[in-house]
Amino acid sequence: MVYLSQHRLSLCKEHYIEWYLKRVESTIREFKMFGRGDKVLVAVSGGKDSLSLWDALCRLGYTADGLYMDLGIGEYSQKSKKACENFAQKKGLRLHVLELKKEIASIPEIKEVERNRPACSLCGLLKRYYMNRFAKEGGYEVIATGHNLDDESATLLSNVLSWNVDYLSRQFPVLLEGDGFVRKVKPLVKFTEKENALYAFLSGIEYIEEECPFSEGASSIEYKKILTQMEEKSPGTKLRFYMDFLRRLHPILQSQEVKLRPCEVCGEPTTAEVCSVCRLKERVIPRLLSSSPSS
């Protein structure tokens, strides 16, 4: 028996899975994320959240393929990739694998050049860029990610503490398509990490539990700890904090508009003449070539 204090529910295995699937479906409908006819690309990492999302969407009858981005982070990436491949093979699903090293370089190599920039910032930039490009080339209407309530509430707290209005205006479970962007959705925003882990466990999903080695010391981890302490004292705090932001403050911030143009190098949408990824390539690739043994 599982007790969900924030929902005041006690559920057995069968009813927990049923509750989880219904809640995913209701979230998709509430935020008008996508329909039955849409071709969905699920960004998978080998962790509990993204694999649970992929599993749930397929159980609910949606057409969903997976995309794993191999970041080249040693054993961690190898284990992550294997978990995704095993899941896809077991379920008979289609998994795409994109190797970052073939596009620009691995995250450890890029970090050697961009030493003053946090690895998480680099990783986020590159994931967003290549996921969007891959989805467009593959004819996918929607990109779905496994961001959970812990992720979203921690990001919200960080942006509120710094009053980052630009980021706050874009923090929503759905980022609509347009100006070169594919629609991006987060169907698990109402689920905590523990709830996703429980669904994965009860569904027999094998996932990696290791955290990315580059995430150590990230500020988001500290914000998650703070919110978890508040949640323990007052169950439902995270969900209220996040949902009240969406209902009360986000509508006011929607007036913030960003003017986009095609990158002069790659054609992807950007606010500058040349996008951040192309500028990154200009810095990283020559440095890596000059330091290679054959140069």
Please determine, for residue 294, whether its predicted confidence score (pLDDT) is greater than 60. Answer: no
Residue burial 4-39, b: 16+ Cβ < 10 Å; e: rest: bebeeeebeeeebbebbbebbbebbeebebbeeebe
| Alpha carbon distance 271, 268 (integer Å) | 10
Distance in angstroms between the alpha carbons of the first and the last residue of the chain: 62
CA distances in angstroms from 99 to 7, 94, 96, 113, listed in the order given: 41, 17, 10, 19
Residue 113 and residue 288 in contact, taking contact as beta carbons nearer than 8 Å: yes
Closest C-alpha among 41, 53, 24 to residue 205: 53
Confidence at residue 83, expressed as pLDDT on a 0 to 100 scale: 98
Q: What is the average pLDDT across 36-47?
A: 96
Q: DSSP readout, 184-242?
A: EE-TTTTS-HHHHHHHHHHTT-----PPPGGGTT-HHHHHHHHHHHHHHHSTTHHHHHH
pLDDT, tens digit, 9 for 90 and up, residues 199-214: 999 999 999 999 889 8
Residue 255, pLDDT score: 58
Would you state the pLDDT for residue 295? 46
DSSP state of 178: B
Paired with 270 in beta bridges are 261
Q: How many DSSP H helices and E strands does the chain contain?
A: 13, 10
- Give pLDDT, residue 116: 87
The domain spans of the chain are: 2-257
Q: Which of 120, 185, 192 is nearest to 150 (CA)?
A: 192
Contacts of 54 by beta carbon, 8 Å cutoff, 6+ apart: 42, 44, 64, 66, 87, 93
| CA angle (44 as vertex; 204, 214 as ends), nearest 5 | 110
Q: What is the pLDDT of residues 103-142, one digit of tens each?
A: 999 999 999 999 888 888 899 999 999 999 999 999 999 9
Higher-confidence residue of 118 and 39: namely 39
Task: Give the mean model confidence (pLDDT) for residues 100-104.
Answer: 95
Sheet of 174-175, strand order? 95-99, 63-70, 39-44, 142-144, 183-185, 174-175
CA angle 123, 126, 131 (to 5 degrees): 120
pLDDT at 244: 97
In the predicted structure, residue 217 carries a pLDDT above the cut 90 = no
Rounded Cα–Cα distance for residues 174 and 56 (Å): 18
Task: Give the predicted TM-score (pTM) of the model.
Answer: 0.93
C-alpha 28, offset from chain centre: 16
Per-residue confidence (pLDDT) for residue 254, from 0 to 100:
74
Give pLDDT tens digits for 140-160. 999 999 999 999 999 999 999
Using alpha carbons only, how large is the chain's radius of gyration in Å?
19
With a pLDDT cut of 90, the percent of the chain lying above it is 81
Q: 2-257 domain in CATH 3.20.20.80?
A: no
Least trusted range by pLDDT, from 14-18, 62-66, 167-171, 196-200: 167-171
How far apart are the C-alpha atoms of 139 and 40, rounded to whole Å? Answer: 9
Which parts of the chain are beta strand (E)? 2-4, 9-11, 39-44, 63-70, 95-99, 142-144, 174-175, 183-185, 261-262, 269-270
Q: Is 126 helix (H, G, I), strand (E, B) or coil?
A: helix
